[in-house]
């Protein structure tokens, strides 16, 4: 695997020592209380569009993680949460959802400032989706048979489904509210407790969950939040008081977490990276394709794990597709994510901008052809902006086609036939998203069924929160979302009982 490219030095952010904002989060939420950190390290959150400071947050140590796990363990084993009924947990979840709804507008704005997500998208994924997921799983858990007797050769067996236990949730910065709730909602529904470790790149918004937990009177220890870096995150993975790890992030980190969970015989779900393909067949409609590109390839400034950055085009229409994608990219409105007219905001951080620019440099130094973009926008002199970029004539073996850029850099790859398109799409270490574009829906479905990927769309790509989501190959293990997502947080127990239990 080629190392992640970089160019130059990280841009420097100058912040005065006495800069403070009302957004500061200098304590952790543990056992239902705000507690002082055990260490002195902090993270300065910076607005992606301007480079200006947003707030300061404490970074946790192993000791902070240990305190959070102990609180979660006690709430599970001894506290009132261990004795709650489904109806009681549902009541808490619905109150949680209502409280998030009341904060939706401010939460959406904060996340857009943190990571550059366009505000219209942030309103959907950070404003509306978390509350929607809580309500969905409140409904799902009420339809789950948590204990049922079945006949056996010796009498009866009572099959129980119990909480998996204490969950260590590690979440990324690109969709911080939604991806945290992918884990928290089913965990609350099933009676688990949680230690949530968000990413420092979105250091501030996750604590909104703590504000809500206090407001609704969620029992102490059910939800604990500690912002931390990789070392303290690693201590959460290996802590003996944790029963399951739920991780969303890079494949590199996922490998390390999966290896530790395997060594410890610990349950885990891993939603990792992607290098998905959008397959435009020779009878596809260009207008339909362009209408779908915002979700398929450019959602959240292409800082999305399902980004279809490999665009497969038939040789018979290759130039047409390249020109259309380039024209679309040039038409994206690059600007401040708080402006509703913006369709492409900045990268989430200075470091991530350098990563994306590094991959553009890799493309320039390959045999690919730069069609549009390739640098910083001339009209954006602050923040972490990059031009939407399109490379044509990319070989599927090129680094630009093999590795996840996580930014608006598209690689257009030619193919000769449907068989060839399937072969190229599947020739990847990843398998998370994808799409097929054709005037013949049955033809498109036939192609889609042959792609080894966890999700794929026909003439569109829209994630369905009510259906299972996850990946093949290096894109992860397990599924989140939909009714199936509840299974990650339940264990089966068989109780061999007398036949009278069948009554």
* Phi/psi of residue 139, nearest 5 degrees: -75, -40
Beta-strand relationship, 409-415 and 457-458: unpaired
292 in the same domain as 204: no
314 in the same domain as 237: no
Q: For residue 163, is it within any domain?
A: yes
pLDDT band at 2 (very low <50, low <70, confident <90, very high): very low
105 in the same domain as 203: yes
292 in the same domain as 233: no
Determine the Cα–Cα distance for residues 325 and 302; give it in Å rounded to an integer: 14
33 in the same domain as 136: yes
Q: For residue 136, is it within any domain?
A: yes
Q: For residue 98, is it within any domain?
A: yes
Report DSSP state, residue 39.
Answer: S
301 in the same domain as 264: no
Q: What percent of the chain has pLDDT over 90?
A: 94
Q: What is the pLDDT of residues 106-128, one digit of tens each?
A: 999 999 999 999 999 999 999 99
262 in the same domain as 306: no
286 in the same domain as 267: no
Q: For residues 448-469, b (16+ Cβ closer than 10 Å) or e, as one string?
A: bebbbbbbbbbbebebebeebb
Q: For residue 347, is it within any domain?
A: yes
Q: Which helix (H) or strand (E) covers residue 369, if one does?
A: strand 369-372
Q: For residue 142, is it within any domain?
A: yes
Q: What is the pLDDT of residues 235-286, one digit of tens each?
A: 999 999 999 999 999 999 999 999 999 999 999 999 999 999 999 999 999 9
- In three-state form (DSSP H/G/I as H, E/B as E, the rest C), the secondary structure along 158-203 is EEEEEECCEEEEECCCCCHHHHHHHHHHHHHHHCCEEEEECCHHHC
Q: What is the pLDDT of residues 373-429, one digit of tens each?
A: 999 999 999 999 999 999 999 999 999 999 999 999 999 999 999 999 999 999 999
250 in the same domain as 338: no
Lookup: tokens for 40: 């002195």
Q: Which of 47, 56, 201, 271 is catalytic?
A: 271
Q: Collect all residues with Cβ–Cβ distance below 8 Å to 181 and sequence separation of at least 6.
A: 129, 130, 133, 134
Q: Summarize the confidence of residues 208-223 as an average pLDDT.
A: 98
- The owner of tokens 């979105």 is 202
Q: Summarize the confidence of residues 49-61 as an average pLDDT.
A: 96
User: How high is the mean pLDDT of the chain?
Assistant: 95
Determine the Cα–Cα distance for residues 171 and 190; give it in Å rounded to an integer: 20
65 in the same domain as 211: yes
Q: What is the pLDDT of residues 72-88, one digit of tens each?
A: 999 999 989 989 999 99
- The owner of tokens 């052809």 is 369
Q: What is the pLDDT of residue 461?
A: 98
User: Domain holding 325: CATH number?
Assistant: 3.40.309.10
Lookup: tokens for 241: 């008081």
pLDDT band at 3 (very low <50, low <70, confident <90, very high): very low
CA distances from 250 to 241, 256, 476 (A): 25, 10, 10
Q: Domain containing 417: what range?
A: 277-464
Q: Collect all residues with Cβ–Cβ distance below 8 Å to 419 and sequence separation of at least 6.
A: none
Determine the Cα–Cα distance for residues 465 and 329; give it in Å rounded to an integer: 28
Question: Is 271 one of the catalytic residues?
Answer: yes
266 in the same domain as 373: no
204 in the same domain as 309: no
Q: Collect all residues with Cβ–Cβ distance below 8 Å to 251 and sequence separation of at least 6.
A: 272, 273, 404, 429, 430, 474, 475
User: In 3-state terms, the chain is what percent helix, strand and coil (to 5)?
Assistant: 40, 20, 40
Q: How many domains does the chain have?
A: 2
Q: What is the pLDDT of residues 436-485, one digit of tens each?
A: 999 999 999 999 999 999 999 999 999 999 999 999 999 999 999 999 99
Pair 126, 107: CB distance under 8 Å: yes
Q: For residue 470, is it within any domain?
A: no
Q: For residue 309, is it within any domain?
A: yes
User: Domain holding 256: CATH number?
Assistant: 3.40.605.10
Grouping H, G, I as helix, E, B as strand and the rest as coil, residue 412 is strand
Q: Which of 412, 217, 387, 447 minimizes the C-alpha distance to 313?
A: 412
């Amino acid at each position: 695997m080629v190392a992640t490219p970089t160019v130059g030095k990280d841009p420097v952010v100058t912040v005065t020592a006495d800069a403070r904002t009302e957004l500061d989060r200098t304590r952790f939420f543990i056992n239902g209380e705000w507690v002082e950190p055990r260490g002195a390290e902090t993270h300065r959150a910076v607005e992606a569009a301007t480079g200006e400071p947003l707030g300061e947050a404490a970074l946790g140590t192993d000791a902070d993680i240990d305190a959070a796990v102990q609180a979660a363990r006690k709430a599970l084993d001894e506290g009132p949460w261990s004795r709650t009924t489904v109806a009681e947990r549902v009541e808490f979840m619905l109150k949680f959802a209502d409280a998030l709804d009341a904060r939706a507008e401010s939460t959406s704005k904060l996340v857009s400032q943190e990571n550059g997500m366009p505000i219209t998208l942030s309103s959907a994924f950070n404003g509306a989706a978390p509350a929607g997921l809580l309500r969905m799983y409140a409904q799902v858990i009420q339809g789950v048979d948590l204990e049922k007797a079945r006949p056996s050769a010796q009498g009866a067996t009572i099959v129980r489904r119990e909480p998996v236990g204490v969950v260590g949730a590690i979440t990324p910065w690109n969709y911080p509210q939604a991806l945290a709730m992918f884990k928290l909602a089913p965990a609350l529904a099933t009676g688990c407790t949680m230690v949530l470790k968000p990413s420092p790149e979105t250091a501030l918004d996750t604590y909104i969950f703590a504000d809500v937990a206090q407001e609704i009177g969620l029992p102490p220890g059910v939800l604990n939040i500690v912002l931390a870096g990789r070392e303290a995150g690693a201590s959460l993975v290996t802590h003996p008081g944790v029963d399951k790890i739920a991780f969303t992030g890079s494949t590199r980190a996922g490998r390390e977490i999966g290896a530790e969970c395997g060594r410890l015989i610990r349950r885990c779900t891993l939603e990792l990276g992607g290098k998905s393909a959008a397959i435009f067949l020779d009878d596809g409609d260009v207008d339909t394709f362009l209408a779908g590109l915002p979700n398929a390839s450019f959602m959240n400034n292409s800082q999305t794990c399902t980004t279809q950055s490999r665009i497969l085009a038939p040789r018979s229409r290759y130039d047409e597709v390249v020109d259309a994608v380039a024209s679309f990219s040039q038409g994206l409105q690059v600007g401040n994510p708080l402006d509703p007219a913006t369709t492409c905001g900045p990268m989430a951080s200075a470091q991530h901008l350098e990563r994306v620019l590094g991959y553009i440099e890799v493309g320039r130094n390959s045999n690919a052809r730069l069609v549009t973009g390739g640098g910083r926008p001339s009209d954006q002199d602050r923040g972490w902006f990059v031009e939407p970029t399109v490379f044509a004539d990319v070989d599927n073996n090129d680094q630009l086609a093999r590795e996840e850029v996580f930014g608006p850099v598209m690689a257009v790859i030619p193919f000769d036939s449907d068989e060839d398109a399937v072969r190229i799409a599947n020739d990847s270490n990843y398998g998370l998203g994808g799409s097929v574009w054709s005037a013949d829906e049955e033809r498109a479905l036939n192609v889609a069924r042959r792609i080894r990927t966890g999700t794929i769309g026909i003439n569109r790509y829209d994630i369905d929160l009510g259906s299972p989501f996850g990946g093949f190959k290096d894109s992860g293990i397990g599924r989140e979302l939909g009714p199936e997502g509840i299974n990650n947080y339940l264990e089966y127990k068989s109780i061999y009982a007398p036949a009278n239990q069948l009554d």
